[in-house]
Amino acid sequence: MSDAKHDKTAEPKKKGGKKKLIMIALAGLILAGGGVGGGLYATGMIGGGQAGAESDKPRLVPKSEQKRAGEGDEGSDSGGGETAGEGEANASNYYTFEKEFTSNLLDSVHFIQVGLAVSTPYDDKVIGNLRTHEIAVRSAVLMALSETDEEQVFSTAGKQQLQKRLAKAINDTLKEKEGFGGIGNVYFTNFVVQ
């Protein structure tokens, strides 16, 4: 009879032990599955993690994929593409502002009027961002022009410095609005000082 009591009391302990073992195994599987799911999310394979966000950024356009005049959008000379391969130069994507910029020069009675074009080695997203935020960009360019002194606009070196300042002003505005600048160079299409 004591053996019968001993068997009855031993049986519930075994069931409890099996339940604990099953619960620990399930918890381990859930944690492992969560880790795998989190890793897939972080790489952008599911749920649009970081990789999805990077695809919104403009991509460099290799010269081999460059469009010629008349092939793409007006004011643009290159198309979208993947990052240029090693040793391959990047294409240039151009945009010309339709209206000229006119501003007083710093501490001067003279004013400057310039026509501008910009280039980018990136795809059409940069030009699209430029068009979308053209009013803010125009304001930044006018502010930069108003900080230019008379001596600077009469020398080639001064004009080159002005081009760099204008590129920085445009890129800073695009970074503020879109999180990415992308403008490589600024070109003068018209330059008058009066």
Two tokens at 41?
């999310």
Could you give the CA distance from residue 42 to residue 65 in angstroms, rounded to a whole number?
31
The number of folded domains in the chain is 2
Task: Looking at the structure, tell me whether residues 25 and 114 fall in a common domain.
Answer: no
Q: Which pTM was predicted?
A: 0.63
Kindly report, residue by residue over 75-109, the tens digit of the pLDDT: 444 444 334 444 567 889 999 999 999 999 999 99
Task: Looking at the structure, tell me whether residues 90 and 177 fall in a common domain.
Answer: yes
The residue written with tokens 């505005």 in the block is 173
Task: Looking at the structure, tell me whether residues 37 and 110 fall in a common domain.
Answer: no
Task: Looking at the structure, tell me whether residues 49 and 76 fall in a common domain.
Answer: no
What's the confidence (pLDDT) of residue 127?
95
Task: Looking at the structure, tell me whether residues 27 and 68 fall in a common domain.
Answer: no
Task: Looking at the structure, tell me whether residues 45 and 119 fall in a common domain.
Answer: no
Enclosing domain of residue 135: 63-193
Lowest mean pLDDT of 14-28, 39-53, 143-157, name the range. 39-53
Task: Looking at the structure, tell me whether residues 100 and 138 fall in a common domain.
Answer: yes
Q: Are 166 and 186 in contact (CB under 8 A)?
A: yes
Q: What percent of the chain has pLDDT over 90?
A: 52
Task: Looking at the structure, tell me whether residues 48 and 125 fall in a common domain.
Answer: no
Could you give the CA distance from residue 97 to residue 102 in angstroms, rounded to a whole number?
13
pLDDT interval class at 194 (50, 70, 90): very high
Task: Looking at the structure, tell me whether residues 22 and 81 fall in a common domain.
Answer: no
| Helix (H), strand (E) counts: the chain | 6, 4
